[in-house]
Structure 1
């Protein structure tokens, strides 16, 4: 499958791993894939994110991902839904952090002793959700009639089902339909 990846899509995967390593996480999730997409320039996925105004709001997207990671992966919309049931996620996080230290819920993705090999840390692994995004990108490409998998397919796949990245993008006013619309506009301009 990776032989179908464009250079840009491969770079997104590499940069997602780098984001996870930089954050000291043992895993690459949807958030790292989204940040890597936001770091791209001059590619179809990057052009879509620019057209939708997300590049200017990268810091806000990154902050939303950080808050969700601190909450153990619970997005703002999930926290809001739980608040409607009388569950204050921020209070729970504060209690856990008072008892176990700052970032205790976020530490779930940090490398553990089993992830060390001969004194070196293993490269971060892809979470099931991130693997699913990569797999869905192939189905997206095939569904669009493309013989390659580009970063635009990864972006569509991130928004293709509920998840952390889709929730954060929705908080910033971006849905899958918006991405598809901009891609269609770009294709019409080029064709």
Structure 2
């Protein structure tokens, strides 16, 4: 599949690897892909981010991602579902952080004894969800009858998914529909 990636899509993948390395985590996530997309310039995705005002609110996007990381990767929808069951996620996070330190629920930080040989050698695998985004980007490109997979297809795949990244995008005005309109205006 990687051979069908455009230069921009390849830059997103390598940028995501860089974000994972700088964060000191063992795997590349959807979050790393979004951050790499935000780094791009002169691409369809960067145009859409500028058109929708997301580029100007990068700090807010990063803060929302960090907040979700603090909650153990749970989305606002997850938090609302738990609240419906009488579970206050904020209280749980606070108690865990009191006992285990700030960002204790943030997940994979630094080398893990079970990280495997690949992580120590510099190779970081993609999480199941991140692989799913790449697969969706292929389906989106094929559905549009595009010959290559571009950064715009990766962005649409992130927006159409469920979870923190699509929720953060939507909360910043970048829904699948608005992104599609910005990147593929009607002829």
Asked if TM exceeds 0.5, the reply is: yes
Contact 1:72 1:106 in 2 (8 A): yes
Structure 1 residues without counterparts, runs of 5 or longer: none
Give the 5 Å matches for 1:28-177. Answer: 28-108=28-108, 110-115=110-115, 117=117, 120-177=120-177
Structure 2 residues without counterparts, runs of 5 or longer: none
Whole-Å separation in 1 of the counterparts to 2:110 and 2:69: 11
Contact 2:54 2:173 in 1 (8 A): no
Describe the SS at the equivalent of 2:157: helix
Q: How far off is 1:163 after superposition?
A: 2.0
Distance 1:182 1:91, change over 3 A: same
Whole-Å separation in 2 of the counterparts to 1:69 and 1:165: 11
Describe the SS at the equivalent of 1:74: coil
Whole-Å separation in 1 of the counterparts to 2:137 and 2:44: 14
Runs of 4+ in structure 1 over 6 Å off: none
Is 1:3 matched up with 2:6? no
Describe the SS at the equivalent of 1:87: coil
Contact 1:48 1:183 in 2 (8 A): yes
Q: How far off is 1:109 after superposition?
A: 5.5
Whole-Å separation in 2 of the counterparts to 1:73 and 1:28: 14
More displaced stretch, 71-80 vs 17-26 = 71-80
Whole-Å separation in 2 of the counterparts to 1:165 and 1:112: 25
Q: How far off is 1:177 after superposition?
A: 0.5
How many residues in Structure 1 have an aligned counterpart in Structure 2? 187
Q: How far off is 1:80 after superposition?
A: 3.3
More displaced stretch, 22-31 vs 75-84 = 75-84
Higher strand residue share? 1
